Amino acid sequence: MQFTTIALVLACATGLLASPLRERNSTEILTFNEYVELYREPSSNGVDSLVYYGPASGTKTLRSEANPVEERASCSATTAPTCFTSHSARNDICDQLVTELFNDSQITVGQSPRQICYEGAAAESNEYCCVSWHNVVPSLIKGDLANYANTILQQCTSNGISGKIYNVLVHQTCTSVCLSNRGTGC
């Protein structure tokens, strides 16, 4: 009985020591996967915004690094998207996001963001369309995401836009790309 109690106490203490505790700013708004808004920029129309989300400064996500062996074995340059009926974004908002990605194709995204959302200010509801990617992509530029987002936009339109392209090369990194009304998955 004492051994069981001691083992339980040690397991709890070890788990607590292994869990990183970080202080959060009370003004941080966290998304479902604990991404925060990193920054925003005005869209080309001057009314709407592009919002960049990613892990808070100094944090890493559980799946932030691609496995090089998996990358070589299962990644391709092109693949068809898988379309979903949930978390569908409005076609007009996604069209604006894809246009922004193509128009600013050489603009660097950086390693911190893991999703870019177009926020349509005039939309009464469902005002977001987000492109997100699974793994950290070094030297990522907007143009690296544009073709994948456009493929999903063109092929997954049955009830709004929601789709994912699995295991594709984005700027020499194997990852998955999603387009939907949220950045936390399709």
Confidence (pLDDT) at 172: 86
Q: Within a domain: residue 104? A: yes
Q: Within a domain: residue 158? A: yes
Confidence (pLDDT) at 2: 53
Q: Within a domain: residue 8? A: no
Q: How far is CA 5 from CA 1, 12, 126, 127, in A?
A: 6, 11, 51, 53
Q: Within a domain: residue 28? A: no
Q: Within a domain: residue 14? A: no
pLDDT winner (highest mean) among 55-64, 123-132, 133-142: 133-142
Q: How far apart are the first and last CA of the chain?
A: 48
Q: Residue 143's domain spans which residues? A: 42-56+68-186
pLDDT for residue 23 is more than 50: no
Give the pair of three-digit tokens for residue 167. 């295991």
Q: Within a domain: residue 140? A: yes
Count of structural domains within the chain: 1
> What is the average pLDDT across 133-145?
92
> Is the entire prediction scored with pTM above 0.85?
no
Q: Within a domain: residue 168? A: yes
CATH of the domain at 137: 3.30.430
Q: Whose CA is closest to 160, among 137, 126, 133?
A: 126
The answer to whether residues 149 and 101 touch, using CB atoms and an 8 Å cutoff, is yes
Q: Within a domain: residue 21? A: no
pLDDT for residue 70 is more than 60: no
